[in-house]
């Protein structure tokens, strides 16, 4: 079972249905106890960082995300859920992220139109192996909707596996052991998104279960 964390933010059905389409037994989970036994955890998110961080904490599901990361259970953060994997965001400096990766979420720089709301070519970082991007022989296109993106520091820098170009290089995806994250929306990215989600579902098959 893949637990899609439902903490009252946005429409999570699209993520659930996309995972089901590629063979995952995905279920929306709003009670932390209901996530026990999951072989995968997905943290979607839309809107403002602070609102998502507060809702995640109030729901108790932040502990599920941290347990998944610590216990080696496959974990995927999407859009603001991806941003929550980091320590914090300049969008809402008073709210802390999960701290799974070192770095801060910052507003996109330059003179580009915000938000980035478009399909964009996503390039894998040369020389960095990635299970997430293994299904792709060519650089895939994904759908982005965001005005902020993580700027990893320290050990977080080595987790970056893909970037896109939007007024400069923007971190598009990270992968560190069992923890994956995408700034783009795979559930809105057609075949490319389904292929990536399929790789995540395969990663969940036979994985350690959440305590």
Catalytic residue (one of 52, 87, 187, 204): 187
Please identify which of the residues 91, 146, 179, 185 carries the catalytic annotation.
185
Is the pLDDT at 110 greater than 80? The verdict is yes
At residue 147, the pLDDT reads: 98
Among 66, 47, 77, 6, residue whose Cα is nearest residue 148: 47
178 token code pair: 């069992």
Residue 73 has pLDDT above 80, yes or no: yes
Q: How many helices (H) and strands (E) does the chain have?
A: 5, 12
Whether 79 sits among the annotated catalytic residues: the reply is: yes
- Tokens 């995540």 belong to residue: 200
Phi and psi at 105, nearest 5°, equal: -80, 130
- Over the stretch 148-181, which tens digit does the pLDDT of each residue have? 999 999 999 999 999 999 999 999 999 999 999 9
Q: Order of strands, edge to edge, in the sheet holding 141-146?
A: 26-29, 2-5, 40-43, 75-78, 179-182, 169-176, 160-165, 116-124, 141-146
Tell me the pLDDT tens digit for each residue of 187-210. 999 999 999 999 999 999 988 999
Question: Of 79, 164, 179, 204, which one is the catalytic site residue?
Answer: 79
Sorted by sequence, the CB contacts under 8 Å of residue 145 that are 6+ apart come out as 46, 79, 115, 116, 117, 185
Domains recognised in the chain with CATH numbers: 2-204 (3.40.50.880)
C-alpha closest to that of 147 among 115, 109, 174: 115
Helix 190-204 and helix 13-21, axial crossing angle in degrees, nearest 10: 70
Determine the Cα–Cα distance for residues 142 and 164; give it in Å rounded to an integer: 10
Tens-place pLDDT, residues 4-26: 999 998 778 999 999 999 999 99
Q: For position 11, what pLDDT does the model report?
A: 76
pLDDT of residue 163: 98
Per-residue pLDDT tens over the stretch 117-143: 999 999 999 999 999 999 999 999 999
């Amino acid at each position: 079972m893949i637990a899609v964390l439902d903490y009252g933010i946005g429409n999570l059905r699209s993520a659930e249905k996309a995972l089901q389409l590629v063979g995952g037994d995905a279920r929306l989970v709003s009670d932390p106890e209901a996530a026990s036994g999951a072989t995968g955890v997905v943290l979607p998110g839309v809107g403002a960082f602070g609102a998502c961080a507060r809702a995640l904490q109030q729901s108790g599901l932040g502990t599920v995300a941290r347990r998944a990361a610590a216990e080696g259970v496959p974990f995927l953060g999407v859009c603001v859920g991806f941003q929550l994997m980091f320590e914090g965001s300049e969008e809402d400096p008073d709210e802390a992220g999960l701290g799974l990766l070192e770095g801060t979420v910052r507003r996109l720089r330059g003179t580009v139109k915000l938000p980035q709301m478009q399909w964009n070519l996503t390039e894998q970082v040369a020389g960095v192996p990635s299970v997430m991007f293994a299904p792709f022989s060519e650089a895939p296109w994904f759908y982005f909707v965001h005005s902020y993106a993580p700027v990893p520091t320290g050990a977080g820098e080595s987790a970056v596996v893909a970037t896109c170009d939007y007024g400069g290089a923007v971190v598009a995806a990270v992968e560190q052991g069992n923890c994956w994250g995408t700034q783009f929306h795979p559930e809105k990215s057609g075949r490319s998104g389904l292929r990536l989600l399929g790789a995540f579902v395969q990663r969940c098959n036979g994985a350690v279960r959440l305590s």
